[in-house]
Chain A
Amino acid sequence: DTGVSQNPRHKITKRGQNVTFRCDPISEHNRLYWYRQTLGQGPEFLTYFQNEAQLEKSRLLSDRFSAERPKGSFSTLEIQRTEQGDSAMYLCASTVGQMSSGNTIYFGEGSWLTVV
Chain B
Amino acid sequence: GQQVMQIPQYQHVQEGEDFTTYCNSSTTLSNIQWYKQRPGGHPVFLIQLVKSGEVKKQKRLTFQFGEAKKNSSLHITATQTTDVGTYFCAGGSGGGADGLTFGKGTHLIIQP
Asked if A pairs with B, the answer is yes
Chain B, interface residues (CB within 8 Å), range: 20 to 34
- What is the number of residues of chain A that contact chain B, defined by CB distance less than 8 Å? 29
Type the 1/0 row for B25-65, where 1 means its CB is closer than 8 Å to any CB of A.
00000110101000001111100101000000000000000
- In the complex, whether A84 has a CB less than 8 A from a CB of chain B is no
- A43 neighbours in B (Cβ, 8 Å): 43, 88, 90, 100, 102
Tell me, in angstroms, the Cα distance from A109 to B38 when the chains sit together: 11
Chain B residue at minimum C-beta to C-beta distance from A50: B98
Interface residues of A in 27-69 (CB under 8 A from B): 31, 33, 35, 40-45, 47-48, 55-56, 58-59
- In the complex, whether A102 has a CB less than 8 A from a CB of chain B is yes
B residues near A, CB below 8 A? 1, 4, 6, 30-31, 33, 35, 41-45, 48, 50, 88, 90, 92, 94, 97-105
A residues near B, CB below 8 A? 2, 31, 33, 35, 40-45, 47-48, 55-56, 58-59, 91, 93, 98-100, 102, 104-110
